[in-house]
Amino acid sequence: MSEAGRTATPGPIPHGLSAAAYVADDQGRITGINRAAEHLLRRAAADLVGLDAHDVLHRDRHGHPVPRAQCQLREAGVAGRVQQGADLWFERGDGTLLPVNWLISPLDANGGTPSTLLLFHARDTDGNEERRRSSAQPLSELGRLALLAELTTQLASTMDTDEAVRRLVSLVVPRLADWAVVDLITENEEVRRAAVITFSDGALVHRRDLQGPMPPIPEHSPMPVARALRGAASALADPGMRQGPPTSGMAAEQRRLFSVTGMHSAAIGPIRGLREVLGALTLGRSDRPEPFTSGDLPLLEDISRRLGLALDNMRLYQRQRKVAETMQRHLLPQLPEIPDLEMTVRYVSAPDASQVGGDWYDAFVLSDGAAALVIGDVVGHDLEAAADMAQLRNMLRAYAWSQQAPPSKIVEWLDHAAMELAEVDMATVIFARVTRAGSAGWELSWTNAGHPPPLLITRDGLTEYLTDGHGILLCSGALLPRADARALLPPGATLLLYTDGLIEVPGESIEEGLERLRRNAASLAHRPLESFTDELVARTRPTDNEDDVAVLALRIPEPEKTGHMHIRDT
Question: 521: domain CATH number?
Answer: 3.60.40.10
CA distances from 50 to 7, 54, 97 (A): 5, 12, 21
Domain presence at residue 562: no
Same domain? 522 vs 439 = yes
Q: Give me the CATH number covering residue 22.
A: 3.30.450.20
- The per-residue pLDDT for 321 is 65
Same domain? 358 vs 442 = yes
Q: Give 375-424 pLDDT, tens digit per residue.
A: 998 876 555 666 677 788 889 999 999 988 999 999 999 998 888 776 66
Burial class (CB in 10 A: 0-12, 13-18, 19+), 499: buried
Please say which residue of 268, 287, 320 terminates a domain.
Answer: 320
Distance of CA 285 to the CA centre of its chain: 34
DSSP lists the bridge partners of residue 428 as: 377
Q: What is the DSSP string of 45-103?
A: GGGTTTSBHHHHHEE-TTSPBPPGGG-HHHHHHHHT--EEEEEEEEE-TTS-EEEEEEE
Same domain? 59 vs 108 = yes
Please say which residue of 82, 113, 135 terminates a domain.
Answer: 135
Domain presence at residue 89: yes
Same domain? 130 vs 155 = no
Q: Give 393-406 pLDDT, tens digit per residue.
A: 889 999 999 988 99
Domain presence at residue 570: no
Domain presence at residue 261: yes
Same domain? 344 vs 301 = no
Same domain? 470 vs 443 = yes
Distance between CA atoms of 570 and 566, rounded to whole angstroms? Answer: 13
DSSP lists the bridge partners of residue 419 as: none
**Beta carbons of 87 and 66 less than 8 angstroms apart:** no
- The per-residue pLDDT for 132 is 35
Counted domains in the chain: 3
Domain presence at residue 276: yes
- The per-residue pLDDT for 323 is 65
Same domain? 394 vs 527 = yes
- The per-residue pLDDT for 422 is 63
Domain presence at residue 55: yes
Same domain? 401 vs 536 = yes
- The per-residue pLDDT for 124 is 58
Same domain? 43 vs 107 = yes
Same domain? 34 vs 162 = no
Same domain? 170 vs 263 = yes
Q: Could you tell me which of 490, 513, 486, 515 has the C-alpha nearest to residue 502?
A: 513
Helix (H, G, I), strand (E, B) or coil at 159: coil
- The per-residue pLDDT for 6 is 44
Same domain? 425 vs 539 = yes
- The per-residue pLDDT for 213 is 94
Crossing angle for the helix pair 141-156 and 297-331, nearest 10 degrees? Answer: 10
Please say which residue of 135, 160, 175 terminates a domain.
Answer: 135
**Which stretches in the chain have pLDDT values below 70?**
1-18, 108-113, 124-142, 241-244, 320-334, 350-357, 380-387, 422-424, 544-546, 560-570
For residue 22, what are the domain limits?
4-135
Domain presence at residue 29: yes
Domain presence at residue 140: no
- The per-residue pLDDT for 408 is 96
| pTM of the predicted model as reported, rounded to 2 decimal places | 0.51
